[in-house]
């Protein structure tokens, strides 16, 4: 089978083997008959996309409407769903609009919460418009215990659920429906392409449907609301939802239905989001015995502060590579290396060929360097500096740093070369200039930390 190819414009990143999934859960098996003639609910085991899950959850809302006698219809309940998934208001479960989200990580995640919540609420309305998913006689006898999850109801829904047609049974049905949609929204927060992420549902003995995610969700949201969440905590949360069998997180992972890595790989480094993850339809680790085996991607340098370093000036004249050699590069490869003594942890190297020479950098360090990257601002003074070639930098062992001054590195207007440099430069004061040639150096002087030595990639 051919390798997976991630293409961005005219450039490609190649690795692993493609996965072709057709999620098709066993629709209609969410309700099971219990002794005494009542019916219970749970998500059938299977592989779901977000829209599939909204469809399977709809039978709970159908049950609520049926047991309320149908007089009020779906709309008041759907209005409550929309209010609960919003980021402000009395019924909002995650009130992010009231927070001052100054850091990029929380800003990106808050934007995700809004987009996902709005879409799930719209899908819920569309599903309701298709009519009940089970016989009305069955819907009227759905019963199970759903503990209180402190979700507020709108005044109208409160009147309906506590009125003559309501009662404890129907209250719990609506509580469960609302809670499952909230869990789904929050489970998908880490992923830029959240609509494409396959979610495997298994009967784990940790509650109905998506309730197996509750403990990890509570821990992650506590960190999110208190301070800026780290990349490690975001990966840990993502891993707990898709591959809970895995050990401590790294910077990405493979699970049965694909690969999770930062979403930035699918864009130019200057235009990528820094913190969100992406699902990629590829099996990255081909050497596992079980073709569905999960694996964590480990950094070569878990603590980059203590990584071996080379001084930039030592390799300044090591290469005479021309920019034309860089411009012609159209693809890079990812290579997997097992971690000694570990069966479910690997390291991945990013391999770039410049002329006859191949250069390898740690993919984890490359992605870390992108998160710490500075982008040059407009209308700032230019700054003189020492010129280095990309090949000279990439040829050095360890991470390349500089004790003083400014060093300019041309990437030949090639994002594949920029990515490679981000995996080699010590990620302390690295600046990327992206734009027209006559504007490039104009943005270097005031960018970065504002003090100390720096590298400028253009």
The total number of structural domains that make up the chain: 1
| 52 inside domain | yes
Task: Give pTM, 2 decimals.
Answer: 0.92
Domain of residue 176: give its range.
23-229
Q: In the numeric block, which tokens belong to residue 252?
A: 């990405």
Whether 228 has a pLDDT exceeding 90, the answer reads no
Rounded to the nearest integer, the mean pLDDT of the chain is 88
| 91 inside domain | yes
Higher pLDDT, 378 or 263: 263
**pLDDT value at residue 241:** 95
| 307 inside domain | no
Angle at 279 between CA 106 and CA 334, to 5 degrees: 110
| 314 inside domain | no
Q: How far apart are CA 214 and CA 218, in angstroms?
A: 6
**pLDDT value at residue 450:** 62
Percent of the chain with pLDDT over 70: 89
| 186 inside domain | yes
Contact criterion met (CB below 8 Å) for 315 and 399: no
| 61 inside domain | yes
| 36 inside domain | yes
| 55 inside domain | yes
Residue 111 Cα to chain centre, angstroms? 13
- For CA atoms 163, 167, 171, 173, the dihedral sign is negative
Tokens 């996309």 label which residue? 49
pLDDT, tens digit, 9 for 90 and up, residues 50-76: 999 999 999 999 999 999 997 789 999
Q: How many CB atoms lie within 10 A of CB 183?
A: 22
């Amino acid at each position: 089978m051919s390798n997976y190819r991630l293409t961005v414009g005219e450039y490609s990143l190649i690795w692993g083997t493609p996965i072709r999934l057709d999620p098709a859960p066993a629709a209609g098996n969410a309700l099971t008959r219990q002794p005494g003639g009542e019916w219970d609910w749970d998500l059938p085991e299977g592989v779901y996309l977000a829209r599939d899950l909204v469809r399977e959850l709809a039978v709970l809302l159908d049950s609520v409407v049926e047991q309320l006698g149908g007089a009020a219809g779906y709309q008041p309940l759907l209005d409550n769903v929309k209010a609960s998934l919003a980021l402000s208001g009395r019924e909002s479960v995650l009130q992010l609009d009231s927070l001052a989200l100054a850091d990029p990580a929380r800003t990106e995640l808050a934007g995700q919460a809004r987009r996902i919540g709005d879409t799930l609420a719209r899908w819920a309305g569309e599903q309701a418009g298709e009519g009940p998913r089970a016989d009305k006689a069955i819907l009227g006898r759905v019963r199970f215990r759903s503990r209180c999850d402190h979700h507020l109801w709108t005044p109208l829904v409160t009147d309906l659920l506590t009125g003559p047609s309501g009662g404890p049974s129907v209250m719990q049905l609506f509580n469960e429906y609302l809670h499952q949609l909230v869990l789904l929204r929050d489970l998908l927060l880490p992923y830029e392409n959240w609509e494409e992420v396959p979610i495997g549902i298994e009967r784990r003995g940790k509650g109905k449907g998506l309730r197996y995610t509750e403990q990890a969700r509570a821990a992650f949201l506590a960190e999110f609301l208190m301070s800026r969440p780290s990349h490690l905590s975001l990966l840990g949360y993502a891993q707990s939802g898709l591959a809970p069998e895995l050990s401590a997180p790294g910077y990405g992972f493979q699970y049965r239905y694909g690969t999770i890595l930062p979403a930035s790989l699918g864009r130019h480094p200057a235009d990528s989001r820094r913190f969100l993850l992406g699902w990629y339809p590829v099996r990255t680790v081909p050497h596992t015995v079980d073709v569905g085996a999960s694996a964590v991607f480990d950094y070569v340098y878990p603590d980059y502060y203590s990584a071996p370093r080379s001084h930039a000036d030592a390799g300044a004249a090591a290469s005479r590579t021309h920019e034309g050699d860089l411009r012609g590069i159209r693809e890079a490869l990812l290579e997997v290396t097992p971690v000694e003594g570990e069966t479910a942890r690997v390291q991945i190297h990013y391999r770039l060929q410049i002329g006859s020479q191949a250069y390898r950098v740690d993919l984890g360090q490359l992605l870390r360097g992108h998160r710490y990257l500075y982008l040059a601002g407009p209308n700032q003074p230019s700054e003189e500096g020492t010129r280095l070639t990309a090949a000279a930098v990439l040829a050095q062992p360890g991470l390349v740093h500089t004790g003083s001054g400014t060093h300019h590195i041309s990437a030949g207007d090639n994002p594949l070369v920029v990515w490679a440099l981000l995996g080699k430069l010590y990620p302390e004061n690295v600046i990327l200039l992206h734009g027209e040639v006559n504007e490039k150096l104009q943005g270097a002087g005031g960018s970065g930390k504002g003090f100390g030595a720096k590298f400028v990639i253009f």
